C-alpha cells in the first residue's frame, strides 16, 4: 500500500509537471502582468521615434520584445547585460537589442502593416554579427 501511494504521488507529480510545461509553452502571445502593462503604457506619451531607450530588463509583449522600466545609459552600461529599444512614430517597437559586456549580442527588428498595425515580419540576429543575414519570421 505504501509503495502504491508513493508511486501514485510520483505519477501525479509527473503529470502535473507535464501539464504545467504545456500551459507555460511560449507561443508568443503570453499575457502581460499588470505591472508590465503599466510600465509599457506609462512611457507611451514620452517616446520619441528612433531614439534609443534603455533598461536592465525586458518584457515579452506578444511577438515583440520591449524594455522594462526605462533607465539612463550610464545606469545600465555598468551591468553585464542590458537592453535597448527603439520605437516608431506609432509607439511600436521597431528594434530591440541585447548587450553583453557593452557589445550587441542579440537584435530583433520589427515590421508592421500600416493599415492593420499588426506585426508582419520579425528579423532575428542571434548571435548578432554585423552584415550577417537574419532569421526571418513572417506572421499572418
* Confidence at residue 24, expressed as pLDDT on a 0 to 100 scale: 38
In this prediction, residues 105-133 reach a mean pLDDT of 92
- Whether residue 20 is contained in a domain is answered as no
In a domain, 94, yes or no: yes
Is it the case that residue 86 has pLDDT exceeding 70?
Answer: yes
Number of domains in the chain: 1
Does 8 reside within a domain? no
| Residue 15 belongs to a domain | no
Mean pLDDT of 104-120: 94
| 14, part of any domain | no
Task: Identify whether 92 is part of a domain.
Answer: yes
**24 and 56 in contact (C-beta within 8 Å)?**
no
81 pLDDT above the threshold of 80 = yes
Helix, coil or strand: residue 61: strand
pTM above 0.85, yes or no: no
Q: Is 104 inside a domain boundary?
A: yes
At residue 110, the pLDDT reads: 96
Q: For the segment 21-77, what is each residue's pLDDT rounded down to a tens digit?
A: 333 334 344 577 888 888 887 777 788 999 999 999 998 988 888 888 889 898 898
Domain residues for the domain of 102 are 27-138
Choose the weakest-confidence range: 19-23, 67-71, 86-90, 110-114. Answer: 19-23
- 60 closest CA partner among 91, 42, 83, 89: 83
Cα–Cα nearest to 95, from 78, 79, 112, 81: 112
Amino acid at each position: 500500500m505504501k509503495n502504491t501511494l508513493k508511486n501514485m504521488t510520483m505519477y501525479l507529480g509527473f503529470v502535473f509537471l507535464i501539464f504545467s510545461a504545456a500551459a507555460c509553452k511560449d507561443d508568443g502571445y503570453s499575457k502581460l502582468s499588470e505591472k508590465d502593462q503599466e510600465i509599457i503604457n506609462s512611457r507611451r506619451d514620452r517616446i520619441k521615434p528612433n531614439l534609443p531607450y534603455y533598461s536592465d530588463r525586458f518584457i515579452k509583449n506578444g511577438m515583440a520584445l520591449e524594455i522594462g522600466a526605462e533607465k539612463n545609459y550610464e545606469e545600465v552600461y555598468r551591468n553585464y547585460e542590458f537592453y535597448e529599444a527603439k520605437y516608431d512614430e506609432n509607439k511600436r517597437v521597431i528594434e530591440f537589442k541585447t548587450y553583453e559586456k557593452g557589445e550587441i549580442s542579440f537584435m530583433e527588428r520589427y515590421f508592421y502593416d500600416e493599415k492593420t498595425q499588426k506585426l508582419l515580419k520579425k528579423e532575428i540576429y542571434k548571435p548578432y554579427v554585423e552584415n550577417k543575414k537574419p532569421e526571418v519570421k513572417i506572421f499572418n
